Amino acid sequence: MIDRSPKPPEALMRAIAQDLRPVKPSPRPLSLALKTAPVALLVSSLILLALGIRGDASVLGPLLTWGTSAAQFTLAIVLVWIAAHESTPAGRLPRGTVYSAAVAALLVVVAITVSTFSISPVGSTLRVGGVVRVVPPWIMDLACGVGSTVTGGILVLLFTWVFRNSLAIRPTLAGALYGAGAGVAINAGWRIACPYPTLRHALGAHGTAIIATVVLGALIGRFLGARRFRSADKSS
């Protein structure tokens, strides 16, 4: 039987042949998440280098000071891992699983915060150089809220670079997930250094910073996803 289908023009075949380039396979979600861990650990430790460990660490003990922060940091990497699955169309997790994991992460962070401040003495003092000073609450709220938001934003931008080749069908959700991972990772270090032991401050200022990184990641993910789809439409 003779194949009578029209053959593509020679010029088109030459253009296709010239455009062929080797393509690296997409990294596995776990590998992608583990690549972000050292960066997240470095950025989240900056506040510890700047302020040192909170003054009531001896009251909290090593479990509530370091153990829960380590667990919270691990949770942050799990959120990034889920975001990496979103970036691999064939490996996406079910929507219900993703949302359940996000809600569980929120509950764990709140539980750690409440447990910490149920043991830690509550007050409106700031220990600087061994001297206890009374500080207006709004100053500490502003300092921690802005500081942890800016630091979390930097980490979100670094995560965005790692996810720059993302093929996420739900780019806004993927961005929100690694934004949440960034916020939770920063909070894991910030809670060890914050010298202002009040539950209202932790849930308010620190919690707002986590929400801000979630929103920032979602907006960046949506922008990059829309740009990728526009590029695909132009090329077609």
Domain spans, the chain: 30-235
Question: Looking at residue 154, what is its pLDDT?
Answer: 95
Question: Looking at residue 189, what is its pLDDT?
Answer: 93
Residue in this structure with the two tokens 């915060």, named with its chain if needed: 113
Instruction: Count the neighbouring beta carbons within 10 Å of the beta carbon of residue 3.
Output: 5
pLDDT for 206 beyond 60: yes
Instruction: Identify the residue with better confidence: 45 or 230.
Output: 45
Rounded Cα–Cα distance for residues 139 and 145 (Å): 10
Question: Looking at residue 26, what is its pLDDT?
Answer: 62
Q: Three-state SS for 153?
A: helix
Mean of all residue pLDDT scores within the chain: 82
pLDDT in tens, 106-142: 999 999 988 888 787 655 455 555 555 666 778 888 9
Rounded Cα–Cα distance for residues 192 and 197 (Å): 11
Cβ within 8 Å of residue 188, ≥6 positions away: 44, 69, 70, 72, 73, 76
pLDDT in tens, 192-201: 988 776 788 8
Band of residue 235 on the pLDDT scale cut at 50, 70, 90 = low
pLDDT in tens, 43-57: 999 888 887 888 778
pLDDT in tens, 8-31: 667 656 666 666 666 555 668 888
Cβ within 8 Å of residue 154, ≥6 positions away: 43
Window from 38-47, 81-90, 142-151, 203-212 with minimum mean pLDDT:
81-90
